[in-house]
Amino acid sequence: MKTKRIYLDNAATTPIDKTVSKAITEFEAHYFGNPNSIHREGQEARAQIDFARQNLAAFFSCKPQEIIFTSGATESNNLAIQGVVSEYVSAYNMKPHVITTMLEHQSVYNTVKELEKKGIIEASYIKPTKDGLITADQIIREIKDNTVLISLIFVSNEIGTVLPIRELGKQLVDVNKSSHYKIIFHTDAVQAVKHYNLNVQKLGIDLLTFSAHKINGPKGIGGLYVKSGTKLANLVFGGSQEYGLRPGTQNSTGIIGMAKAYENLGSLEDRQASGNAIRKMKSQLLEGLKQFNLIDINGSTDLEQSCPDILNFSILNKDQEMVIAKLDLAGIAVSTGSACVSGSTKPSHVINALGKITDREAATVRVSIAKSNSAKDLDQLIEAIKTL
């Protein structure tokens, strides 16, 4: 009998939900027109995209025209960061200062690094504590006269830390009253949409990145919330699609699938209830890992300061590739961290930022749990770790 595999890499991607697949299939069966064409077929497809945009705007409590569709989070993060920087350079002939953290996804961290390397910007990278925590005050202290952008991940995709987005948003209201340049506040909320309140009005942000495939939606589709009045320079030039910010024919089927995936998340209360159930499994895993002397948790063990679904730990004196391979052979899918750097045998910039990695060999493991998992899955993972 074929052994049932246990999938615990949901922070990398998730299986597409059947209702999402159905929504995509039904859309493709009835609407094939280019949504930018003026004939009936085009306008019917355009209407479906408009409905999807309205539904996503309701999820984020913003205006439909503030939702820009992209190919995914990496493009959204680049549009946010490079768009703001280019706009300020062009408007003020200045060298902007950007603040970010050492906990960011590669599409933020490496983008800022590249702009800094080219001499286009100055940059500050906020270092977390050894438990992976960062405070709003740390960010505020780094603000300079030429600071134009703060980009913070909402939930660390590698260690699960929750950053103080709402608190920082409140503080920036006062800071911007006296700052030389309007400081734009961007958050990558890809890992946060599952469990947290993303009302952009309450968060006090200007730009928010989101995508679909982390919530049982399709790959290759994402979006960027752009607060009205926030100016971004284009990364790509062409037509006038997406209010001129993202030219090119829209990924219509992806948009429909993404809107359905967000609809499936339910109300905030539904998301919080789901998060609480998943957090119990995370607590179970944390308790099970205590029996191992050579396992070190990466990130906070305070469940209020970390998300419900991501747990990262290092197994000392073990080869990283060997650990992941053995768990895979045991029927368990986990990862070393972000899928964007899969295959690397070196600790990521996030793990290095915690200051706990030495010359001692260690295997980093990220477990990301979904509502489709069970307590039995976590028990089997613990048993598999015993055999490493």
Catalytic residue positions, numbered: 340
Cβ-contact 116, 123 below 8 angstroms: yes
CA distance 290 to 216: 32
| C-alpha distances in Å from residue 8, one per residue of 32, 153, 376 | 36, 22, 12
Residue 370 φ/ψ, nearest 5 degrees: -125, 170
| Nearest by Cα to 82 from 74, 228, 197, 173 | 74
Read out DSSP for 96-163?
-EEEEETT--HHHHHHHHHHHHTTS-EEEEEPPPTT----HHHHHHT--TTEEEEEEESB-TTT-BBP
CA distance readout (Å), 311 to 62, 283, 287: 32, 10, 12
Q: Which distant-in-sequence residues (6+ apart) come within 8 Å of 52 by Cβ?
A: 255, 256, 258, 259
Residue 245 backbone class (left: φ over 0; alpha: ψ -120 to 50; beta: rest) = alpha
346 vs 335: CA distance, rounded Å: 13
| E strand or H helix that includes residue 238 | none
Three-state SS string across 297-365, please?
A: EECCCCCCCECCCEEEEEEECCCHHHHHHHHHHCCEECECCCHHHCCCCCCCHHHHHCCCCCCCCEEEE
Three-state DSSP class for residue 82:
helix
How far is residue 276 CA from its own chain's centroid? 20
Contact call for residues 16 and 217 (beta carbons, < 8 A): yes
